[in-house]
């Protein structure tokens, strides 16, 4: 009646003014509700407290029974252990197995029994199934189980070794006398389920190990609730079982009991009071409620519109792809980020099924996640898609159900493009692994703290320094420094760190055990996005071996490997240093150049090993004569150089040098034999005019050669006269090389005249006209060229030029003319001599019979057999050979009959006194007679007078050469000379028969 009246009154109101239910209506309603609620609360609290007390009593009973059941099992196994102990380690499997089978039969929860010896080896075992034995074997091999078994406790102990199977309990009982251990495994859940049979009343009890339930006790005939969580429990208790197993007991309302009946009285009282209050307040506040409802509706509409705008803004401007799908999987909405990621327009995305944008391989997996979301569950997964351009994108997708009126009509999706971030994560993991696996020590320090403590150190650092992670983390790296650390380098490093700059230094650090090592350290700042330095990264490399190797290299680079004396480089450094000091004072320096006399025969006859020992002894003796500031070095071979300092008068040097000569001349006793050796010493004393200290070495070297020329085992002072001769020789050699390169030589040809006065041939004579010095005598530059090896290119040029000129005479109608070319010993003894000769004849086109080669006796006597082979080859080429300057050397008449030669040339020294000396005349006449008997032609050199010519004619000499007949002339003059001869004269051509 009150409700109807209120509704009629509200319906009849036509005023738009707000309807206020009135203060009393509100007070009446609130008072009635408060009283009704208080009554319900009071009754419910009493009922709940009684229920909780009953549940606690039940848990006490369950705990007591569980402890008793566990203690009984421990006691039974203890009895078995005592029997084994009584056997004193003598295990009889025939007795144990039946006894163990009885245990297994009587205790269904007992799964396996094992007996281990002191080495944890299995003596015997009994299990219900093979899987039980396998599981048992796996557990006792775990380190944690081994540590537990090794604990020196004799009381029975329990352990849950496998966290994935918390119901399986491992029990051990140690036999202290025999060292054996009795192991058994129980199913705690089965044990408690069999033993805890009691009246539960309206409850059900869950027995948990940590957070995992072992079993649920419930009245028979009823099933336990499928989902029981701790927050649903009426009461809980932590129970510790004998042996060390901790369980948690929870009492839950039983599904078999009608709990609603227990709250019937409080609810009835509360509902009655609320009904009366409602009826009272309804009538008074119905109008006010209606007005308030209207206001709420208006506010809700405004709020809904605002929420819609907020959602639309979030949807539109969200940086991630936000979309919605209907229940069939088609796109209903998609924001701008979806367009940016996929490259498709919004119209191309909407109404499309989501499988249109994913790979076919991912369809089944995405369908599963879609089905999960449709089932009102949130799911998250990674998805790789290809955009319109074919580029791959990795998306982190969250799918949420869209529920309207408790019905899922679709899903919302949020997809974040994690392609770059995942790549960065992969790169970061790779870098982290690289740093950890690096052979270089890596440190990371906090740059924001004053002491810059170390935050990270890799394994290579701990291996390199010997410090553990605990020693390093939180400390400044200055603990690596020590007394050997260079303060300047440390200051440089700290200065760069203060300036937040990179620094690369090499300094001596110390390991934990105090041993030093060389550290090649590079420190670099790490900056955040704003450019502020947050950390420093240090990379260090142990270069101790490299430093030691450098030291060895430096030593070997500055010392002689054999004698351990300084080498030339180190000697010159010390010479320069002492020379600089001497210029600042009045004292002078002396350089002694020591060269051993006749050392080569020792190496050749006794071997280099003996020679090396002699050199070592020489070095030792020279060192014994040194003063405290003096230096001795080995330049190489048997040459030594010494530096004497603090020289005030020459008598000091003479005394030292004579002592050295005496010391070096003493016998060298090696392997029971005595060797005698002397030395030649050159002395150079610094002067005020000495500009470079290296000049002293050169001067001492020249003085040493002068000492050798004086008979050896002597010393000689350097004088300026040495320099003039050596300098002139050096200048001439350089100028000669320039002439070779420019081909600045000329050939003059001296005619050879036979007995009929006709041209028998020409001899090619080398001439050199210097641009500024004029004609230089061959007696000056040819011996120098032979000493320096420059004679080889000169001889090759002479041979080629002579062949070309003779060929030109033939082509000009003035030939053929035979040309004689002098050979150098170096040229004749070269392995390529014959090859070069053949090539020259081939290149110039000169017939071989027009070429004659002149050799000295010394060439043929040095290696007669090899010379004969070469001469035989020349004869086979139809090239004639003459012996030049015959009679001046140590001629052997025996070899003349063996040598394949055609001509001998009598030296001009015999011709010069031919008409005045009977001895010379007899020698010349004897040479001519002997040659003719051997079938050889004879050429007389140096014919300058008519008397000499007539005398030689009377001796039957074959060919004449000299200024009295014709002087050497250039090729053009030779042409005129040949043309001036009688046209009916027949030139002489020598043939090889």
- The tens digit of pLDDT for each residue in 512-530 reads 998 999 988 999 999 988 8
- CA 902 to the chain's CA centroid: 73
Q: Which range among 4-13, 170-179, 202-211, 281-290 shows the weakest confidence by mean pLDDT?
A: 4-13
pLDDT tens figures, 96-114: 778 788 888 888 888 888 8
Query: To the nearest whole percent, how much of the chain has pLDDT over 90?
Result: 19
pLDDT of residue 760: 92
For residue 680, pLDDT over 90 is answered with yes
pLDDT band at 987 (very low <50, low <70, confident <90, very high): very low
CB 188 within 8 A of CB 111: no
For residue 993, pLDDT over 60 is answered with no
> Bigger pLDDT: 966 or 140?
966
> Reduced to 3 states, what is the DSSP secondary structure of residue 509?
strand
Nearest to 565 by CA among 653, 668, 641, 663: 641
Q: How far apart are CA 365 and CA 884, in angstroms?
A: 108
pLDDT band at 800 (very low <50, low <70, confident <90, very high): very high
Q: How far apart are CA 822 and CA 799, in angstroms?
A: 9
pLDDT tens figures, 778-796: 888 888 888 788 888 999 9
Mean pLDDT over all residues of the chain? 83
With a CB cutoff of 8 Å and minimum separation 6, the contacts of 521 are 493, 503, 504, 505, 506, 507, 538, 539, 540, 541
Q: Which range among 131-140, 223-232, 350-359, 387-396 shows the weakest confidence by mean pLDDT?
A: 223-232
Q: Which helix (H) or strand (E) holds 880?
A: strand 880-886
pLDDT of residue 989: 35
Q: How far apart are CA 80 and CA 67, in angstroms?
A: 20
Q: How far apart are CA 64 and CA 727, in angstroms?
A: 121
> Reduced to 3 states, what is the DSSP secondary structure of residue 354?
helix
pLDDT tens figures, 804-820: 999 999 998 888 999 99
> Bigger pLDDT: 893 or 763?
763
> Bigger pLDDT: 311 or 7?
311
pLDDT of residue 984: 41
pLDDT of residue 990: 38
Q: Which helix (H) or strand (E) holds 296?
A: helix 264-317
CB 820 within 8 A of CB 852: yes
pLDDT of residue 893: 62
pLDDT band at 617 (very low <50, low <70, confident <90, very high): very high
CB 90 within 8 A of CB 178: no
Q: Which helix (H) or strand (E) holds 363?
A: helix 363-374
**Mean pLDDT along residues 622-632:** 89
pLDDT band at 180 (very low <50, low <70, confident <90, very high): confident
pLDDT of residue 287: 62
Q: Which residue has the tokens 């540590």?
A: 147
Nearest 5°: phi and psi at 682? -105, 140
Q: How far apart are CA 233 and CA 216, in angstroms?
A: 13
For residue 92, pLDDT over 60 is answered with yes
pLDDT of residue 545: 85
pLDDT tens figures, 241-295: 887 788 888 888 876 666 666 666 677 777 777 777 767 766 666 666 666 777 7
List % helix, strand, coil for the chain (3-state, nearest 5).
50, 25, 30
pLDDT of residue 809: 92
- CA 27 to the chain's CA centroid: 88
For residue 592, pLDDT over 90 is answered with yes
Q: Which range among 278-287, 488-497, 737-746, 905-914 shows the weakest confidence by mean pLDDT?
A: 278-287
Q: How far apart are CA 809 and CA 803, in angstroms?
A: 10
**Mean pLDDT along residues 438-455:** 87
pLDDT of residue 679: 92
DSSP character for 567?
-
pLDDT band at 298 (very low <50, low <70, confident <90, very high): confident
Q: Which range among 664-668, 674-678, 706-710, 871-875 shows the weakest confidence by mean pLDDT?
A: 706-710
pLDDT of residue 208: 86
pLDDT of residue 763: 94
pLDDT of residue 482: 87
CA quadruple 217, 223, 229, 233: dihedral positive or negative? negative
DSSP character for 559?
B
pLDDT of residue 992: 35
Q: How far apart are CA 588 and CA 828, in angstroms?
A: 51
Q: How far apart are CA 125 and CA 721, in angstroms?
A: 111
For residue 730, pLDDT over 60 is answered with yes
pLDDT of residue 19: 53
Edge to edge, what strands does the sheet with 441-446 contain? 454-457, 441-446, 533-542, 516-527, 503-510
Strands in 121-244 per DSSP E: 122-127, 157-159, 168-174, 181-187, 203-209, 212-217, 235-241
**Which range has the top average pLDDT, 134-138, 224-228, 894-898, 974-978?**
974-978
Name the H helices within 666-789.
Answer: 694-709, 720-742, 778-788
**Mean pLDDT along residues 923-936:** 89
pLDDT of residue 845: 92
pLDDT of residue 245: 82
pLDDT of residue 937: 93
Question: What is the SS3 string spanning 406-466?
Answer: CEEEEEEEEEEECHHHHHHHHHHHHHHHHHHHCCCEEEEEECCCCCCCEEEECHHHHHHHC
């Amino acid at each position: 009646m009150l409700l109807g009246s209120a509704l009629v009154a509200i319906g009849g109101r036509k005023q738009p003014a707000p309807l206020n239910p009135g203060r009393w209506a509100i007070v009446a309603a609130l008072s009635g509700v408060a009283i009704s609620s208080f009554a319900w609360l009071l009754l419910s609290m009493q009922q709940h407290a009684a229920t909780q007390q009953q549940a606690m009593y039940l848990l006490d009973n369950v705990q007591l029974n569980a402890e008793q059941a566990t203690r009984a099992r421990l006691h039974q196994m203890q009895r078995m252990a005592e029997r084994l102990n009584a056997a004193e380690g003598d295990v009889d499997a025939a007795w144990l197995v039946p006894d163990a089978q009885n245990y297994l039969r009587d205790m269904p929860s007992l799964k396996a029994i094992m007996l281990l010896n002191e080495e944890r080896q299995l003596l015997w075992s009994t299990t219900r199934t093979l899987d039980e034995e396998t599981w048992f074997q796996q557990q006792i091999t775990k380190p944690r189980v081994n540590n537990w078994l090794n604990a020196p406790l004799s009381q029975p102990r329990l352990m849950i070794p496998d966290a994935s199977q918390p119901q399986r309990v491992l029990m051990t009982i140690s036999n202290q006398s025999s060292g054996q251990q009795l192991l058994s495994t129980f199913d705690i859940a089965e044990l408690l389920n069999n033993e805890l049979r009691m009246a539960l009343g309206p409850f059900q009890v869950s027995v948990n190990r940590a957070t995992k339930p072992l079993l649920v006790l419930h009245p028979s005939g009823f099933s336990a609730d499928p989902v029981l969580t701790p927050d649903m429990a009426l009461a809980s208790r932590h129970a510790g079982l004998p042996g060390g197993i901790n369980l948690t007991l929870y009492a839950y309302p039983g599904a078999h009991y009608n709990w609603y009946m227990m709250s019937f009285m409080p609810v009835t009282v509360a509902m009655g009071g609320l009904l009366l209050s409602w009826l009272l307040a309804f009538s008074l506040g119905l109008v006010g409620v209606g007005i308030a409802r209207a206001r709420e509706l208006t506010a809700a509409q405004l709020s809904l519109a605002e929420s819609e705008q907020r959602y639309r803004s979030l949807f539109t401007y969200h940086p991630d792809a936000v979309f919605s799908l209907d229940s069939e999987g088609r796109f209903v909405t998609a924001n701008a980020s979806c367009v940016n990621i996929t490259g498709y327009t919004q119209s191309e995305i909407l109404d499309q099924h989501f499988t249109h944008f994913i790979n076919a391989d991912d369809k089944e997996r995405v369908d599963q996640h879609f089905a999960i979301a449709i089932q009102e569950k949130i799911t998250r997964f990674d998805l790789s898609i290809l955009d319109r351009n074919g580029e791959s994108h990795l998306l982190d997708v969250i799918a949420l159900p869209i529920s309207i009126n408790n019905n899922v009509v679709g899903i919302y999706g949020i997809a974040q493009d994690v392609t770059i971030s995942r790549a960065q994560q992969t790169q970061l993991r790779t870098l982290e692994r690289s740093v950890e696996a690096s052979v270089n020590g890596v440190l990371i320090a906090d740059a924001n703290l004053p002491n810059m403590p170390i935050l990270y150190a890799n394994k290579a650092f701990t291996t390199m320094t010997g410090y553990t992670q605990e020693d390093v983390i939180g400390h400044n790296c200055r603990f690596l420094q020590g007394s050997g650390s260079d303060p300047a380098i440390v200051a440089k490093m700290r200065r760069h760190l203060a300036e937040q700059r990179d620094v690369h230094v090499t300094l001596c650090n110390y390991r934990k055990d105090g041993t030093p090592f060389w550290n090649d350290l590079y420190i670099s700042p790490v900056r955040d996005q704003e450019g502020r330095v947050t950390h420093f990264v240090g990379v260090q490399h142990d270069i101790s071996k490299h430093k030691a190797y450098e030291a060895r290299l430096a030593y070997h680079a500055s010392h002689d490997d054999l004698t351990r004396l300084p080498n030339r480089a180190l000697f010159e450094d010390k010479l320069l240093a002492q020379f600089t000091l001497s210029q600042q004072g009045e004292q002078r320096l002396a350089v002694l150049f020591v060269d051993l006399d006749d050392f080569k025969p020792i190496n050749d006859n006794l071997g280099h090993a003996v020679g090396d020992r002699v050199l070592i002894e020489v070095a030792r003796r020279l060192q014994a004569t040194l003063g405290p500031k003096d230096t001795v070095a080995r330049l190489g071979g048997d040459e030594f150089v010494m530096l004497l300092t603090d020289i005030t008068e020459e008598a000091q040097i003479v005394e030292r040098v004579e002592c050295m000569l005496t010391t070096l001349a003493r016998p060298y006793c090696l392997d029971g034999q005595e060797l005698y050796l002397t030395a030649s010493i050159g002395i150079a004393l610094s002067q005020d005019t000495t500009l470079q200290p290296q000049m002293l070495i050169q001067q001492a070297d020249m003085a040493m050669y002068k000492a050798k020329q004086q008979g050896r085992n002597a010393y000689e002072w350097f004088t300026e006269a040495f320099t003039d001769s050596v300098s002139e020789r050096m200048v001439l050699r350089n100028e000669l090389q320039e002439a070779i390169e420019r081909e600045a030589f000329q050939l003059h040809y001296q005619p050879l005249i036979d007995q009929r006065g006709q041209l028998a041939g020409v001899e090619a004579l080398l001439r050199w006209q210097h641009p500024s010095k004029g004609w230089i005598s061959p007696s000056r530059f040819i011996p120098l060229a032979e000493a320096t090896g420059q004679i080889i290119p000169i001889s090759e040029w002479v041979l080629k030029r002579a062949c070309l000129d003779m060929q030109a005479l033939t082509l000009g109608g003035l030939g053929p003319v035979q040309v004689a070319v002098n050979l150098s010993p170096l040229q004749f003894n070269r392995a390529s001599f014959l090859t070069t000769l053949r090539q020259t004849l081939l290149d110039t086109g000169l017939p071989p019979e027009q070429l004659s080669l002149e050799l000295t006796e010394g060439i043929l006597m040095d290696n007669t057999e090899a010379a004969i082979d070469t001469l035989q080859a020349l004869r086979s080429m139809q090239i004639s050979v003459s012996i030049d300057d015959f009679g001046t050397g140590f001629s052997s008449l025996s070899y003349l009959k063996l040598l394949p030669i055609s001509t001998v040339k009598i030296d001009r020294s015999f011709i010069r006194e031919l008409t005045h000396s009977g001895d010379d005349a007899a020698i010349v006449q004897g040479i001519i007679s002997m040659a003719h008997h051997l079938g050889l032609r004879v050429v007389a050199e140096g014919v300058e007078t008519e008397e000499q010519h007539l005398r030689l004619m009377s001796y039957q000499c074959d060919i004449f050469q000299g200024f009295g007949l014709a002087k050497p002339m250039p090729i053009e003059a030779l042409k005129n000379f040949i043309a001036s001869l009688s046209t009916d004269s027949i030139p002489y051509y020598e043939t090889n028969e």
